[in-house]
Amino acid sequence: MPSTARPLRKLGFLTIGLFDPADPARGHESTLEIIELAERLGFDSAWLRHRHLQYGISSPVAVLAAASQRTRRIELGTAVTPLGWENPLRLAEDLATVDVLSKGRLNPGVSVGPPMHFEQIRDALYPDTADAEDFGYERVRRLLDLVRGKPASAFAGAEGVGAVRRQPHVEFTSDVVQPHSPGLGRRMWYGGGSLGSARWAGEQGMNFLTSSVVKAEEPGGPWDFAEIQLSHIREFRARHPDGEAARVSHGLVVIPTDSASPEQCARYEAYAAKRLPRTASPQGPARLLFAPDLVGTSQEIAERLCAHAAFREVDEVAFALPFTFEPEDYVQILTDMATKLGPALGWRPAG
C-alpha cells in the first residue's frame, strides 16, 4: 500500500449541485441526499461551491442550513464563497446562524476578486456603489473581524422603552454580530491559488483551501503544478501562527472507478481527456495552470497522489466531484472514495 508523509486524516468532497431549471427543487434535494450519503459512509466533510446566475447552487449557506438539520456529524463547508457578491456583515450573520444550527460544524471558505462578468451584472448587484466597492483582501478582513466578534456598531444597550398594558417593553441591541458563535472564527478558510494569497491567508490565521488550479507566476517553463502548489502550502504555514500544524485542504478532481460500470468508466475517461489539454500550459491573462483529473482504480489514484509533492504535505482533502455527472455517478464515486481510496491513503471513516 502507498504511504504519505501525512496519512489522510479528513476525507471530504466538493460539489456545485447542478439542477434542471425546469425542476430546481430536484437538484437541490439530490445535493442534500448526497451529503446524507456521505455522512453514512463516514466522510468528515461536505463542501458546496457557489454558482451565481447558473444552474447550480447559488446560495450554499441556505442549502447547508437544510443539510445541518438532516445530518448530525459531518462538517459542512463552502469552497468557496466569492466575497465580491456578498455584504460581509450580512454574510457574517448568516454564517453564524448556520453554525449555531449545525452545532459548530460550519467551515466557510471564501475568496476575493470582482464578480465574474462584472460589467454585465454590476447594475443589478451594485447599482449605486459599483465604482466604490473594494473587491480585495480588505473585504475578507471585514468578514473575519465580524465573525470573530469585533464590534459592528458604535451602539449597544437598551432602546425602545415603552408601555404596553403598563408593562415595560425593552429591546436590547448588541454591538457585535448575533448570534455569535465563538469557534467559527477558527474555522474560516481562504481559497487561494497564488503565493500572495497563501501568504496573506497565513498571516490572518485562516485555514487554506487548495484546488486543481494555481497561478503560474514565474515566466518561462516547464511548469510543475505540484511544485507550485507545494510552494503555496509552505508559504502559508511559514506565515501562520500555528506553523506546520496550520490546516490545509487539498481539492483535486478525483474519480475512482472500482465499482463503476464499463459505461461509467468510458464516460469518466472521456471527461478527463477532454479537459487534459488545458493542463499543458498556463491559460488566459491570469496564467492559470490546471491539474489533470485523476481517473482510475483507487489503488492507481492513491499511487499518483502519494507521488504528488503538494498532496504529501496535507492530511485533509475535499475532492471535487465532476460537475456534469448524474446522481448515480456521484453515489458510485463517493462510495469508492470512502471504501477504497480513503483507506488506501491511510484514512479511516468517522464513527
Query: Would you say 289 and 214 are in contact if contact means Cβ atoms under 8 Å apart?
Result: yes
What pLDDT is stored for residue 72 in this prediction?
A: 98
d(CA 227, CA 89): 37
What CA–CA distances, in Å, run from 339 to 12, 121, 162, 344, 349? 13, 44, 62, 9, 9
163 or 253: which carries more pLDDT confidence?
Answer: 253
% pLDDT > 70, the chain? 96
Which pLDDT value is given to residue 163? 41
pLDDT at position 296 = 98
Which residue, 350, 244, 348, 255, is CA-closest to 305? Answer: 255
pTM: 0.95
Tell me the three state secondary structure of residue 108: strand
**266 pLDDT more than 70:** yes
Query: DSSP 3-state assignment of 253?
Result: strand
**Average pLDDT, integer, range 25-44:** 98
Query: How does residue 350 score in pLDDT terms, banded at 50, 70 and 90?
Result: confident
Give the pLDDT score at 5: 64
Q: Is residue 188 classed as helix, strand or coil in its secondary structure? A: coil
Inform me whether the pLDDT recorded for 1 exceeds 50: no
133 pLDDT higher than 60: yes
- Identify the pLDDT of residue 3: 47
**Digit-coded pLDDT (tens) for 138-184:** 999 999 999 999 999 999 888 765 544 445 567 889 999 999 999 99
pLDDT, mean over the chain: 95
pLDDT at residue 169, as a whole number: 63
pLDDT digits (tens, 9 = 90+) for 199-250: 999 999 999 999 999 999 988 888 999 999 999 999 999 999 999 999 999 9
| Whether the predicted pLDDT of 2 surpasses 50 | no
Percent of the chain with pLDDT over 90: 91
Place of cell 453515489: 331
Q: Enumerate domains of the chain plus CATH numbers.
A: 10-152+177-344 (3.20.20.30)
314 burial type by CB count under 10 A (0-12 exposed, 13-18 middle, 19+ buried): buried
Q: What is the mean pLDDT of the segment spanning 292-296? A: 98
At position 47, the amino acid (one-letter code) is: W
Distances (CA, A) of 171 to 136, 152, 158, 168, 192: 36, 18, 6, 10, 42
Nearest to 98 by CA among 63, 72, 71: 63
